[in-house]
Chains A and B, each alone.
Chain A
Amino acid sequence: MSTQLIKGRPVLIEDKLLIRRFNAGDMDALRRIYERYKPELLSVAKALVNDTAAVEDVLHDVFVRFASQAGRFQLKGSLKGYLAICVANRARNVNRMDRQNGRETSLEATVAPSGRSEPSHAADLAEQRQIMTCALTQLPQEQRQVVVLHVLSSLRFREIAQQTGESVNTIQSRYRYGLAKLQSLLNGEVNL
Chain B
Amino acid sequence: MNQAEKIKKLLCSTFREPADGIDSMVMDERILSDASTSMKQAIAASQRIYPIAKWRKIMRTRTVKLTTAAAVLLAAFVLATWDRSTAWSFEQTIAAIKQLKNLQIAGKMNYWSEIVDFNCWICCPDQESESGAMRLECEKVTMIARLQDETVYFYWPRENIVMITKQGRDIEDLKFWYQAARMSPWLTGKIVDTLRLFTDDWKQTVVTDPASGKEQVHVTCSYKPSNTSISFIVDTETNLIERGKMWMNLQQAGEPQFDAQTVIYNQDIPDDFFEFQIPPGATVITQEDIDQCRVLFKKAEDLFGQKKYAEALDVYRQVHDKSPHLNIAVEAKMMVGICHRRLGEYDKEIETYQAAIAQYSLRKGLGWIYFYLGRAYMDKGQNDKALEAFENCLISNEGVSEPDRFPLKDAHEYIAKIEGH
A residues in contact (CB < 8 Å) with B: 1-2, 5-6, 9-10, 13-14, 17, 22, 25, 27, 30-31, 34, 38-39, 42-44, 46-47, 52, 55-56, 59-60, 63-72, 74, 111-114, 116, 125-126, 128-129, 132, 147-148, 151-152, 158, 162, 179, 182-183, 186, 190, 192
Contact in complex: B43, A70 (CB < 8 Å): yes
Asked if B254 is an interface residue, CB under 8 A from chain A, the answer is no
A69 CB to closest chain B CB, in angstroms?
A: 6
Asked if B27 is an interface residue, CB under 8 A from chain A, the answer is yes
Take A70-B46, A152-B16, A179-B7 as given contacts and tell me if A30 and B22 are in contact as well, using a CB distance cutoff of 8 Å: no
15 contacts between A and B (CB under 8 A): A5-B407, A6-B372, A10-B304, A30-B32, A39-B16, A46-B15, A46-B19, A52-B21, A72-B56, A112-B20, A125-B20, A129-B15, A132-B11, A132-B15, A151-B11
Contact in complex: A68, B42 (CB < 8 Å): yes
Contact in complex: B4, A70 (CB < 8 Å): no
Take A56-B22, A125-B20, A132-B15 as given contacts and tell me if A68 and B301 are in contact as well, using a CB distance cutoff of 8 Å: no
Contact in complex: A30, B35 (CB < 8 Å): yes
Contact in complex: A68, B38 (CB < 8 Å): yes
Within B1-49, which residues are at the interface with A (CB < 8 Å)?
A: 3-4, 6-8, 10-22, 27-28, 30-32, 34-36, 38-43, 45-47
Contact in complex: B27, A47 (CB < 8 Å): no
Contact residue among A10, A30, A114 (Cβ-Cβ distance under 8 Å from B20): A114
Contact residue among A67, A72, A152 (Cβ-Cβ distance under 8 Å from B11): A152
Query: Across the two chains, which residue of chain B brings its CB closest to A158?
Result: B409
Q: Chain B contact residues (Cβ within 8 angstroms of A): what range?
A: 35 or more
Take A31-B32, A132-B14 as given contacts and tell me if A13 and B20 are in contact as well, using a CB distance cutoff of 8 Å: no
Contact in complex: B7, A25 (CB < 8 Å): no
Bound-state Cα–Cα, A101 to B30, Å: 26
Bound-state Cα–Cα, A158 to B335, Å: 25
Contact in complex: A68, B41 (CB < 8 Å): yes
When A and B form their complex, which 4 residue pairs have the shortest distance between CB atoms, in order from nearest?
Answer: A112-B21, A71-B46, A67-B35, A67-B39
Contact in complex: B7, A182 (CB < 8 Å): yes
Contact in complex: A60, B39 (CB < 8 Å): no
A158 CB to closest chain B CB, in angstroms?
A: 8
Query: Across the two chains, which residue of chain B brings its CB closest to A14?
Result: B305
Contact in complex: B14, A67 (CB < 8 Å): no
Contact in complex: A192, B3 (CB < 8 Å): yes
B353 CB to closest chain A CB, in angstroms?
A: 13
Contact in complex: B39, A30 (CB < 8 Å): yes
Bound-state Cα–Cα, A10 to B22, Å: 32
Interface centre among B42, B53, B56, B341 (most CB of A within 10 A): B42
Instruction: Say whether chain B's binding surface is mostly helix, strand, loop, or mixed.
Output: helix
Contact in complex: A13, B31 (CB < 8 Å): no
A114-B21, A125-B17 are known; give 20 further A-B pairs, CB within 8 A.
Answer: A1-B410, A9-B338, A10-B301, A13-B301, A14-B301, A42-B19, A43-B12, A43-B16, A52-B21, A55-B22, A59-B31, A63-B32, A64-B34, A65-B38, A67-B42, A70-B43, A71-B45, A129-B15, A129-B20, A162-B404
Contact in complex: B404, A59 (CB < 8 Å): no
Bound-state Cα–Cα, A126 to B379, Å: 47
Asked if B273 is an interface residue, CB under 8 A from chain A, the answer is no
Bound-state Cα–Cα, A10 to B312, Å: 12
Interface mask (B51-89 → A, CB under 8 Å = 1, otherwise 0): 001001000000000000000000000000000000000
Asked if B406 is an interface residue, CB under 8 A from chain A, the answer is yes
Query: Across the two chains, which residue of chain A brings its CB closest to B312?
Result: A10
- Neighbouring A residues of B243 by C-beta, 8 Å: none
- Neighbouring B residues of A17 by C-beta, 8 Å: 298, 301
Contact in complex: A68, B39 (CB < 8 Å): yes
Bound-state Cα–Cα, A43 to B12, Å: 8
B138 CB to closest chain A CB, in angstroms?
A: 30
Bound-state Cα–Cα, A31 to B33, Å: 10
Contact in complex: A67, B36 (CB < 8 Å): yes
Contact in complex: B15, A152 (CB < 8 Å): yes
Contact in complex: B20, A151 (CB < 8 Å): no
Query: Across the two chains, which residue of chain A brings its CB closest to B41?
Result: A68
Bound-state Cα–Cα, A68 to B45, Å: 10
Within B334-349, which residues are at the interface with A (CB < 8 Å)?
A: 338, 341-342
- Neighbouring A residues of B301 by C-beta, 8 Å: 10, 13-14, 17
Bound-state Cα–Cα, A92 to B202, Å: 37
Bound-state Cα–Cα, A9 to B301, Å: 10
